Homo-oligomer: A and B are copies of this chain.
């Protein structure tokens, strides 16, 4: 067995907890996991659950195997949080892998860390990921150099197992698949916009609008700023 992985996972208000818990559950037995936020106060997530960070930004180690960012309703806010973007840029220099699930890749992109890299995100945010400089790939898990990104929410489990096979051992990932009884039987085939009909999409879109609006606003601000910088140089 290889040495334990050192993994920092960003926790932030209104994050989607399942984005983080899929990979966290996969890795937990084989890793030291730092749940990082500005303070150690409880962080309220997208559902009714609040979780407790175990590490502050300042206390986070630098020699990370994996730097991980989840997505969620708080994405737009994080994309404009100078302290968080600076933290991600700083840690990215000394982390072996820079990773995300769901709209977490937009936060990495807002920090300038996805420019020119192939990447994915929740299906609803692909356009903005492209505007922020990533090469958007419509796959569930995308690996490009040391950038590894997963699609929407439930893809975190696939992401975790793939990363585990790559960074730890394929048999360990297979045994973890068995432990998790990961033999999914989705009751419906509506998991992507390509397979869901218009009626289902129309039902969902109003619920996504507030999250999407926050991401669009943040993306527009960042792109405008970049253009200004470009014109100024």
Interface residues of A (CB under 8 A from B): 16-18, 21-22, 24-25, 28-29, 33, 35, 42, 46-52, 54, 102, 122-123, 140-141, 151-155, 157-158, 161-162, 165, 171-175, 177-193, 195-196, 199-201, 203-204, 207-208
Tell me if A175 and B190 are in contact (CB < 8 A).
Answer: yes
Which B residues touch A29, using CB under 8 A? 207
Tell me if A200 and B186 are in contact (CB < 8 A).
Answer: no
Count identical subunits in the complex.
Answer: 2
Closest to A31 in B: B48
- With contacts A161-B187, A162-B187 taken as known, whether A175 is within 8 angstroms of B204 at the C-beta atoms is yes
Query: Nearest-CB distance from A176 to chain B (Å)?
Result: 8
- With contacts A18-B21, A48-B33, A52-B52 taken as known, whether A187 is within 8 angstroms of B203 at the C-beta atoms is no
Tell me if B25 and A47 are in contact (CB < 8 A).
Answer: yes
Which B residues touch A203, using CB under 8 A? 171-172, 175
Which B residues touch A151, using CB under 8 A? 181
Which B residues touch A187, using CB under 8 A? 158, 161-162, 165, 173, 177
Q: Within the assembled complex, what's the spacing in Å between the Cα atoms of A144 and B191? A: 27
Closest to A152 in B: B181
